[in-house]
Structure 1
Amino acid sequence: MKKRALFAGALAVPAAAGIWGAVIEPHLFAVRRHTLPILPAGAQSIKMLHVSDLHLAPWQRHRASWVKALTRLEPDVVVNTGDNLSADIVPEVLDVFDGLLDVPGVFVLGSNDFFSPKAKNPATYLRSPSEVKHRTEPDLDVRALIRGFEARDTPVGDTPNRDTPGQTRGWHFLDNAEASLTIRGTRIDFCGLGDSHIDCDRIRMNADAESRGPDALDYPRFDPDAGVKVGVTHAPYSRTLEALTSAGADLIMTGHTHGGQIRVPFWGAPVTNCDLDRTRARGLFPYRNALVEISAGLGFSPYSPVRFACRPEVSLLTLVPKD
């Protein structure tokens, strides 16, 4: 009898963990909050909402409803770091973000905004980052997604969190591009890089530069007069973090890792799906002279539909003046 009980217990524990990770935890959405003292002295505080890795599929109505309700947080600016799709459902994704498109924002794309996920052995993630580089032509309507997020044809009128009444709704596309927004009186310069997971980042070195630092880079670059300098990219590969910090970023915002997606309690993430150390799979940490904030994101591939000890999340960063 004792052997049977032990055998039953040995089966019950992984079964319960499987049910939790596949059925329960993927619906336990969370808002991770950070307060960052990076604004100029005397500036008004700014609430920055970071959304990443939605990976929306048609049947995921609970996730869609939760994200639509994020307007309740009343952010001043939105940063979307990509991987919004798990299928060719651009209208549904745009509907999810419709309310937040009235808030000033920026976005970059991830590999799953170009390419639909493919079935693969999840164990391969333990050996090396996933491979999508052999696929050259997007099979998702990424152009429609970009047009929808930019949404430049609809004026928003006197929306309270916009400094310029009558400015059109929508976000700025930052794949290897720049944008400047004035939020609550502070100028924020954003500089983005394309998804380095599929080699879409365009880091350009200055051949005439003799030393490291901002002068060594043609891109990314920041205006030194900006109140805050924010780098944005989908995947936190070390080369992108190095480039953005060398350019003078105060803050770098990224996603892609899913926080490890399946974390070991009291030990952490086994992988990051990039070349970043597994201990930096999510959260906030210093990197050279900048802060890096990695969102564990909201979703997963439909072929790996589980999260364990890693709740789906968005981040709400409250920027305050420096001490």
Structure 2
Amino acid sequence: MRARYGVSLGVPLGLTALGAAGLGYAALEARAYRLRRVTIPVLPEGMRPLRVLQIADIHMVSGQDKKRRWLQTLAGLRPDFVVNTGDNLSDPLAVPELLDALGPLMEFPGTYVFGSNDYYGPKLRNPARYLLEKANGRHGLNGNPPAVGAIHNPWEDIRDAFESAGWVGLSNSRGRLKLEGLELALTGLDDPHIKRDRYDEVAGGPEEADFSLALVHAPYLRVLDAFAADRYPLILAGHTHGGQLRVPFRGALVTNCDLDTDRARGLSGHRAAGHESALYVSAGCGTNRYTPFRFACPPEANLLTLTPRA
């Protein structure tokens, strides 16, 4: 009897210990911030290289001092300009800490789009629902804002701070960024994850400039198709967290949108209407406050060196 009970109890206890160890590691990895450097050959021939710092999915929560200090250090990279692809908050009280974290970076030229978590606070939900939604072909919030009673994030304060710093907001709009000796044409969309994107307001392809760049928070296929068909050479996005919990040797299980999991993070291409755009999806540097874990997918910022096409 003792042996029988010892076996039956020992296996669950072992699995529990293994699960606890994995969860502990995933919590540590979520704070193991790093910089990913990537070279993307998309510039016209003869144009000087551009160093672009992409920040995505900060999901700042009040008290995240390590994240705040790490973000401040990125100013030492001296990028040509900064791109913020949204989801800056996971706590409506964290706006001062977010702006303190980004303050040194706002000394550089920049541009930004917002994500759903800039507008609304997160809700506690079962993480398994992401897998279920993928299996059922559902993504996002079906075009509706969160239910009555959802937390309103003070996104207006973030917008005002960014624009006071001269960063160009791209909410279903176009803009231009002047660098030393260069002018960039920018086009961005509001978040497709909650169906705030309005591509018809910016359709028609990039304006004349030294280089053109497209931005969106969530890389939904309808948006990527439109940008690629309009011949944007480069699209930058975030939202996916790189899958957040990746399986070694397999990769991401979900992207939280209709983008395939093979492109959950990093550089790839997207083809539509006979034209291919380069696509870079950042794995981001934060998590939803209710799921503060990452596995095989450390938080990151991205230093993208744009070079002329070969």
Structure 1 length normalisation: TM-score? 0.85
Residue pair 1:105, 1:170 contacting (<8 A) in 2 also: yes
**Corresponding position of 1:266:** 249
- The C-alpha deviation readout for 1:204-261, integer Å capped at 9, x for no partner, is 18xxxxxxxxxxxx626311x3222211000000011011111111000000001111
Call closer, same or farther: CA 1:178–1:33 in 2, change over 3 Å: same
Residue pair 1:229, 1:248 contacting (<8 A) in 2 also: no
**Corresponding position of 1:109:** 114
**Corresponding position of 1:90:** 95
Residue pair 1:258, 1:282 contacting (<8 A) in 2 also: yes
Kindly provide the amino acid, as one letter, of the partner of residue 304 in structure 1. T
- The C-alpha deviation readout for 1:268-296, integer Å capped at 9, x for no partner, is 11100001111111111011211000001
Which moved further from structure 2: 38-47 or 99-108?
38-47
> Which of 121, 129, 139 is residue 152 of structure 2 equivalent to?
139
Which moved further from structure 2: 104-113 or 126-135?
126-135
Give the CA deviation at 1:134: 4.1
Residue pair 1:54, 1:298 contacting (<8 A) in 2 also: yes
Total equivalences in the alignment: 292
**Corresponding position of 2:74:** 70
Kindly provide the amino acid, as one letter, of the partner of residue 91 in structure 1. P
Whose helix fraction is larger, Structure 1's or Structure 2's? 2
Give the CA deviation at 1:177: 1.1
- The C-alpha deviation readout for 1:48-67, integer Å capped at 9, x for no partner, is 00000000000211111101
**Corresponding position of 2:205:** 221
3-state SS, counterpart of residue 92 of structure 1: helix
Q: Which runs of 5+ in 2 are unaligned?
A: 134-138
**Percent of aligned pairs with the same amino acid:** 41
Residue pair 2:238, 2:283 contacting (<8 A) in 1 also: yes
Residue pair 2:185, 2:213 contacting (<8 A) in 1 also: yes
Give the CA deviation at 1:120: 1.0
Give the CA deviation at 1:91: 2.0
3-state SS, counterpart of residue 86 of structure 1: coil
Residue pair 2:242, 2:282 contacting (<8 A) in 1 also: yes
Check if 1:303 corresponds to 2:303. no
**Corresponding position of 1:60:** 64
**Corresponding position of 2:136:** none
Residue pair 1:101, 1:171 contacting (<8 A) in 2 also: yes
Residue pair 1:43, 1:186 contacting (<8 A) in 2 also: no
3-state SS, counterpart of residue 251 of structure 2: coil
Residue pair 2:234, 2:279 contacting (<8 A) in 1 also: yes
3-state SS, counterpart of residue 106 of structure 2: helix
> Which of 244, 260, 265 is residue 282 of structure 1 equivalent to?
265
Give the CA deviation at 1:122: 1.0
